[in-house]
Homo-oligomer: A and B are copies of this chain.
Amino acid sequence: MTEKEQFSEKILSLLQEKKYSALQKYMDTLNPADIAECMEDLLDDGEIAEEELPRIFRLLPKELASDTFTEMDPEFQEKLIDAFSDKELAELMGDMFLDDTVDVIEEMPANVVKRILKNVDSETRKSINQVLNYPEDSAGSIMTIEYVDLRPSMTVREAFARIRQTGVDKETIYICYIIGPTRKLLGLVSVRELLLADDDTVLRDIMETNIISVSTQDDREDVANLFAKYSFGALPVVDKENRLVGIVTVDDAIDVLQEEATEDIEKMAAITPSEHPYLRAKTWEIWKQRIPWLLLLMVSATFTGMIITGFENALAAQAALMAFIPMLMDTGGNSGSQASVTVIRNLSLGEVEFSDIGKVLWKELRVSLLCGATLAAVSFVKIMLIDGLLMKNPGITVTVAVVVCLTLLLTVVAAKLVGCSLPLLAKRVGFDPAVMASPFITTIVDALSLILYFRIATDILHL
């Protein structure tokens, strides 16, 4: 039994024995992410009824309740909100951080959003609307406005007093931002530096002024990559006039990195990314994620069919050639996706840019010649020994083997060059490079390899 299953079982047994105060005490020892997961699992497996959810939830102490709510799936959040009174909803929203509230709102239907906005104070409502206005996938959309701001003239003692006074409601207190009269970002200071400094030191003298900040409009993946590069705990978000408007914290950056990696992986496998977890997604939702690409790629495979039909007579004359078509297509596809996937991942990590296209092409040309030559050599030996001598296939001649191996070499080179350049070109024109992965490359390379094959066969075998 996993740890998670133990938690769920314990909660369930306490619930069934109606030992609510023991349940309350037990849940207080758990982490909010675990409580959320247990409740979801119990509901999914039909162990508890939906009406029980708000009842269990009300047992949680204030702060744990809001943290647990934040960790839950939107569908359960919606069920809880529907069960809450306006007063309960207002309390819950008051305990949540602004970035989490915005995340919830983004997933809710219009009537629930209305109810949430009705039940927060007017200042929070204003901030929510502001954050909601930032483009999806921008730094503004993932930032929080709960940070500690200090003034340059404050002493370390005054700074600590302000942290103690306001820090409870802040997402992180460990990096404090020092701002001027118009909220211009002047510097930052960490609690570590404050602790090591003398109480009477003025912040102006110890603050870090070479600050790496991001703009509200920056792409959230680029922002998350900064965390991976620099080991920050938080990054300040500023507007065009360098005024501090919020911060992005490292825990949100991790979520972005995980989500973006998952999205890239899905796109590379010709799946439209979805927000729903796989095991909880409905059949038609998964169908909707997958069918457009399958259809598109199936229809484009028509061209390969047309190429084969065009060479039907040549193929009939040399039936042995047919047997190598799947091998040539697959090897070309695999070679191409090796190159495209490498470039796509390096683009995501910010290690390769469009301006590197010359370097990338030159590298892939050399690699593909080396790979192609190896494959052609092995293939030649294999065809002559296994297909020719061992299987005694009468159609296998040295000339046929040469045609296959020459095609193999050229296909691998073409596949790798196409595979590495398409994602870079896609990025250049503003498309998502990840879409240019295996399935797309495979379709192009299939057509290329068949054309090469039949051209070489016609020329060498005089078909």
Name A368-402 residues within 8 Å CB distance of B. Answer: 370-371, 374-375, 378-379, 382, 386-387, 391, 393
How far is A174 from B251 in the complex, measured between Cα atoms in Å?
15
Q: Given A351-B277, A446-B330, decide whether A302 and B382 contact each other with a Cβ distance below 8 A.
A: yes
Chain B interface: which of A107-115, A124-132, A314-322, A422-430? A314-322
- Interface mask (A266-281 → B, CB under 8 Å = 1, otherwise 0): 1011110000011100
How far is A210 from B230 in the complex, measured between Cα atoms in Å?
31
- Chain B CB within 8 A of A212 CB: yes
Q: Given A325-B308, A342-B269, A438-B337, decide whether A294 and B331 contact each other with a Cβ distance below 8 A.
A: yes
- Interface mask (A399-441 → B, CB under 8 Å = 1, otherwise 0): 0000000000000100000000000000000000000001100
- Chain B hits for A251, CB < 8 A: 227, 231, 250
- Chain B CB within 8 A of A43 CB: no
Name A253-301 residues within 8 Å CB distance of B. Answer: 253-255, 257-258, 261-262, 264-266, 268-271, 277-279, 283-284, 286-287, 290-291, 293-295, 297-299, 301
Determine which of B195, B305, B386 lies in contact with A173 in the assembled complex, contact meaning CB atoms within 8 Å.
B195
How far is A302 from B81 in the complex, measured between Cα atoms in Å?
59
How far is A85 from B191 in the complex, measured between Cα atoms in Å?
36
Q: Given A279-B356, A351-B279, decide whether A290 and B338 contact each other with a Cβ distance below 8 A.
A: yes
How far is A284 from B323 in the complex, measured between Cα atoms in Å?
31
Q: Is the CB of A279 within 8 A of B342?
A: no
Q: Is the CB of A378 within 8 A of B346?
A: no
How far is A261 from B233 in the complex, measured between Cα atoms in Å?
21
The interface of chain A, by Cβ under 8 A from chain B, is 2, 29-31, 33, 160, 163-164, 167-168, 173-174, 191-192, 195-196, 210, 212, 227-231, 233, 250-251, 253-255, 257-258, 261-262, 264-266, 268-271, 277-279, 283-284, 286-287, 290-291, 293-295, 297-299, 301-302, 304-306, 308-309, 312, 315-316, 319-320, 322-327, 329-331, 333-335, 337-338, 340-343, 345-346, 349, 351-353, 356, 359-360, 363, 366-367, 370-371, 374-375, 378-379, 382, 386-387, 391, 393, 412, 438-439, 442-443, 446, 450
Most buried by B among A231, A258, A283, A443: A231
Q: Is the CB of A322 within 8 A of B298?
A: no
How far is A218 from B127 in the complex, measured between Cα atoms in Å?
42
- Chain B hits for A33, CB < 8 A: 229-230
Distance between A121 CB and nearest chain B CB, rounded to angstroms:
24
- Chain B hits for A341, CB < 8 A: 265-266, 268-269, 271
Q: Is the CB of B338 within 8 A of A370?
A: no
Q: Given A228-B258, A266-B341, A287-B370, decide whether A302 and B279 contact each other with a Cβ distance below 8 A.
A: no
Determine which of B160, B277, B299, B306 lies in contact with A323 in the assembled complex, contact meaning CB atoms within 8 Å.
B306
Q: Is the CB of A308 within 8 A of B323?
A: yes
Closest 8 CB pairs of A and B: A269-B341, A231-B251, A301-B327, A304-B326, A305-B323, A261-B261, A283-B366, A29-B210
Distance between A29 CB and nearest chain B CB, rounded to angstroms:
5
Q: Is the CB of A312 within 8 A of B322?
A: yes
- Chain B hits for A283, CB < 8 A: 363, 366-367, 370
Q: Is the CB of A442 within 8 A of B195?
A: no
